[in-house]
Amino acid sequence: MALVLTHLGRERRGLTQDAKTKPIHATKAARAQMKSHPAARHVEMKRRLSEDREYHFQRGPLSLMRPAVFFDRDGVLNEDDGYAFDPDKIRWVEGAQQAVKAVNDAGYFVFVVTNQSGVARGFYEERHVRKLHEWMSRELAIVGAHIDAFEFCPHHPDGLIERYRVLCNCRKPQPGMIRALLERYPVDIDSSFLIGDKQSDVAAAQAAGIAAHLFDGSNLHAFIAPLLKDRPLHRVQPHSVRVDGG
Provide the annotated active-site residues: 72, 74
- What angle is formed at CA 84 by the lines to CA 81 and CA 89, rounded to 5 degrees? 80
Rounded Cα distance between 31 and 29, Å, is 5
8 Å CB contact between 118 and 175? no
Residues 6+ apart with CB under 8 A from 115: 152, 153, 171, 172, 200
8 Å CB contact between 146 and 133? no
**Could you tell me which residues are beta bridge partners of residue 70?**
111, 194
